[in-house]
C-alpha cells in the first residue's frame, strides 16, 4: 500500500508521499501507461503496433516530434544521425583517462555530459533547429560512446562508425567488428536489437525520466540533464535489473539453487525476484510479452541455444502460480526477458544498463523538450517531513566531549 498522509509541519500542510507513488509531477503528451490493464502507448500508438511495424529510429522520431515520420522525414532524420555519429577527436581522448575496469555507465554519463563542452552553441537551445541538432548528436553519438567504452574495457581498437549501416547494424559493427573483419549480424539479430531499443524508448515519469525533468527544471542543458538520467538508470532496481535477472538465472543454471528453492528464498524476503514486479503494471507488462516472443524467435532463427531462456520460462510459470506473487500483483517486467536477447547479441552483462540508456535516450529527450517548451519552469523542489532534533545550543570545540 502506498503511504500518503497530509501532515501539518511548522511551515504548513505537506502531502507525504514517499517514492512519489501517487504524485503527478507534470502534464505530458508523450506516453500513456495504464498499469491495471497492461496498456502502453507512445503518442497514442499502442506499443504492440509500434513493435510489429516500426523501427527504433521511427520510434525516436515519433517520441521527440509527436508524429510518425513520412518516408522523406525518416530519411532526413537518418541522414542527420549519420552525419553526427563520429566523436570529436578531443572527446575520443577522454577514453584514455578511464581505467579499463571503469564501469561503462560511468563512462557513458561522463562522456555525454562532456559532449556539451564540445558544442557550447547547443547549451542554450533557442530554436527548433538547434534542438534537432542537439537531439541528433546525442542519439547518434550515444552508440559510439557506448561501443567504445566496451572496446576500451576489452583492450580492442575503436571501430569508427560506418555511415552506410543502419542505426542498429552500426552499433553492432562498432561493438563486434575487428579491423579487416566486419561483423555481419543476421536480420533477426538486428530486428531483436531494434525491438529492444524501441520497447525501452519511453515509460513516462519513471525514476530516470523524472530525474531528467528535475534537472531540466533548473534550466540545465540537454547534455547535463540526460547525463543525470543515465546515473539514475544505473541502479539495480531500474536499469540494472536485467543484469540481476541474468545473475539469478545463472545461479539456478549452475545448480546453486533449484527453482522452488529460489522462490522460497524470495518469499522469505532474502532477496527479490529480479525482473518481477513494477510500480505501475499490476496485471502484466506489455513489453515483457513482446520480448518473451522476440527472445524465443531470435534464438530459434539463429540456432543459439540458451538454457537460461528455459529456466526463465519455468521460473515465471512457478511464480505466476504462487500466491505470494499473485497477491502482490507481481508479474514479469520488461527486464525479465531482455537480458536473454542481449546475451544472444554477445553484449556483456555490465553493458546491459548501457543498452537500456541508448534505448531510453529519445524518451528522455522528448520529456526534456516538453518540459522546456511548456515554459512552466517551476523548479522541482519537493518538501520533507523533518524528523531531526529540536533547536539546541552550539557547543564550542573545546567543550565537546
Ligand atoms: N520479488 C519479490 N517480492 C517483491 C518484488 C520482487 N521482485 N517486488 C516487490 N515485491 C514485494 C515487496 O517485498 C512488497 O512485499 P510486502 O508487501 O510483503 O512488503 C510488495 O511486493 C510491494 O513492493 P514495493 O517495493 O512496495 O513495490 P514497488 O512498486 O515500490 O517496487 C519494483 C517496484 C522496484 C520494480 C519492485 O517490484 C522490484 O524491486 N522489482 C525487482 C527489480 C526489477 O525487476 N526492477 C525493474 C523494474 S522495470 C524497469 O525499471 C524498466
193/184 Cα distance (integer angstroms): 14
Residue 37, CA distances (Å) to 169, 280, 291, 333, 336 in order: 35, 10, 18, 14, 19
**φ, ψ (nearest 5 deg) of residue 373:** -70, -40
CA of 279 to the centre of ligand 1 (A): 7
pLDDT at 1: 46
pLDDT at 125: 86
Q: What is the DSSP letter of 104?
A: H
Axis crossing angle, helix 167-176 with helix 128-154, rounded to the nearest 10: 30
- Nearest residue CA, atom 11 of ligand 1? 328
Q: Count CA within 13 A, CB hemisphere, residue 313.
A: 9
CA of 252 to the centre of ligand 1 (A): 21
The answer to whether the CB of 150 falls within 8 A of the CB of 175 is yes
Atom index in ligand 1 nearest the CA of residue 279 equals 29
pLDDT at 102: 94
The pLDDT of residue 4 is above 60: no
Give the pTM.
0.90
The pLDDT of residue 244 is above 60: yes
Atom index in ligand 1 nearest the CA of residue 203 equals 51
Ligand 1 binding site (Cβ under 6 Å of any ligand atom): 237-238, 241, 266, 272-279, 328, 330, 333-335
Of the candidates 332, 86, 372, the residue with the CA atom closest to the CA atom of residue 224: 372
Taking the chain, what is the end-to-end CA distance rounded to the nearest angstrom? 44
Question: Is 305 one of the catalytic residues?
Answer: no
pLDDT band for position 306 (50/70/90)?
confident
Burial class (CB in 10 A: 0-12, 13-18, 19+), 343: buried
Mean pLDDT of the chain: 92
38/333 Cα distance (integer angstroms): 11
Task: Provide, rounded to the nearest whole percent, the portion of the chain with pLDDT above 90.
Answer: 78
Residue 146, CA distances (Å) to 151, 267, 300, 356 in order: 9, 37, 28, 11
Atom index in ligand 1 nearest the CA of residue 280 equals 29
From the list 173, 176, 278, 369, the catalytic residue is 278
Mutate to test the pocket of ligand 1, among 199, 248, 272 (most ligand atoms within 8 A of CB): 272
Of the candidates 401, 83, 378, the residue with the CA atom closest to the CA atom of residue 219: 378
pLDDT band for position 2 (50/70/90)?
very low
172/191 Cα distance (integer angstroms): 12
CA of 278 to the centre of ligand 1 (A): 6
Question: Is 335 one of the catalytic residues?
Answer: yes
186/346 Cα distance (integer angstroms): 13
Query: What is the grid cell recorded at 335?
Result: 527486464
Q: Which residue has the higher pLDDT, 313 or 150?
A: 150
- Nearest residue CA, atom 29 of ligand 1? 279
The pLDDT of residue 366 is above 90: yes
350/376 Cα distance (integer angstroms): 38
Q: Which residue has the higher pLDDT, 283 or 32?
A: 32
The answer to whether the CB of 112 falls within 8 A of the CB of 223 is yes
pLDDT at 354: 97
Q: For residues 331-357, give the mean pLDDT.
A: 92
- Nearest residue CA, atom 3 of ligand 1? 272
Residue 323, CA distances (Å) to 173, 284, 289, 315, 319 in order: 46, 16, 21, 14, 8
pLDDT at 9: 63
Amino acid at each position: 500500500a502506498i503511504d500518503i498522509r497530509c501532515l501539518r509541519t511548522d511551515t504548513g500542510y505537506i502531502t507525504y508521499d514517499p517514492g512519489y507513488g501517487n504524485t503527478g509531477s507534470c502534464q505530458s503528451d508523450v506516453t500513456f501507461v495504464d498499469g491495471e490493464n497492461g496498456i502502453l502507448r507512445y503518442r497514442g500508438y499502442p506499443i504492440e503496433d509500434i513493435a510489429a511495424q516500426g523501427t527504433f529510429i521511427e520510434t525516436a522520431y515519433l517520441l521527440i516530434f509527436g508524429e510518425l515520420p513520412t518516408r522523406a522525414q525518416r530519411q532526413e532524420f537518418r541522414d542527420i544521425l549519420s552525419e553526427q555519429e563520429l566523436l570529436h577527436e578531443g572527446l575520443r581522448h577522454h577514453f584514455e583517462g578511464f581505467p579499463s575496469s571503469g564501469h561503462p555507465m560511468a563512462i557513458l554519463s561522463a562522456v555525454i555530459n562532456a559532449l556539451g563542452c564540445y558544442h557550447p552553441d547547443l547549451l542554450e537551445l533557442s530554436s527548433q533547429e538547434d534542438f534537432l541538432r542537439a537531439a541528433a548528436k546525442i542519439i547518434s553519438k550515444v552508440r559510439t560512446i557506448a561501443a567504445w567504452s566496451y572496446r576500451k574495457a576489452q583492450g580492442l581498437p575503436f571501430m569508427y562508425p560506418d555511415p552506410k549501416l543502419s542505426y542498429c547494424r552500426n552499433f553492432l559493427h562498432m561493438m563486434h567488428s575487428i579491423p579487416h573483419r566486419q561483423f555481419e549480424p543476421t536480420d533477426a539479430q538486428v530486428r531483436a536489437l531494434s525491438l529492444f531499443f524501441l520497447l525501452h524508448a519511453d515509460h513516462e515519469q519513471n525514476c530516470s525520466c523524472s530525474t531528467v525533468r528535475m534537472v531540466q527544471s533548473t534550466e540545465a542543458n540537454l547534455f547535463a540533464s540526460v547525463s543525470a538520467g543515465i546515473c539514475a538508470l544505473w541502479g539495480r532496481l531500474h536499469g540494472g535489473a536485467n543484469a540481476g535477472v541474468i545473475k539469478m538465472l545463472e545461479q539456478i543454471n549452475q545448480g546453486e539453487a533449484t527453482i522452488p528453492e529460489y522462490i522460497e528464498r524470495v518469499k522469505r524476503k532474502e532477496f527479490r525476484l529480479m525482473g518481477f514486479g513494477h510500480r505501475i503494471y499490476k496485471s502484466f507488462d506489455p513489453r515483457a510479452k513482446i520480448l518473451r516472443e522476440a527472445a524465443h524467435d531470435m534464438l530459434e532463427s539463429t540456432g543459439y541455444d540458451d538454457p537460461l531462456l528455459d529456466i526463465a520460462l519455468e521460473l515465471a510459470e512457478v511464480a505466476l502460480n504462487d500466491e505470494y506473487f499473485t497477491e502482490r500483483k507481481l508479474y514479469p517486467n520488461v527486464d525479465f526477458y531482455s537480458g536473454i536477447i542481449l546475451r544472444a547479441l554477445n553484449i556483456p552483462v555490465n553493458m546491459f544498463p548501457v543498452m537500456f540508456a541508448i534505448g531510453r535516450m529519445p524518451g528522455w529527450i522528448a520529456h526534456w523538450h516538453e518540459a522546456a517548451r511548456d515554459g512552466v519552469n517551476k523548479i522541482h523542489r519537493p518538501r520533507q517531513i523533518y524528523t531531526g532534533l529540536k533547536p539546541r545550543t552550539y557547543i564550542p570545540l573545546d567543550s565537546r566531549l
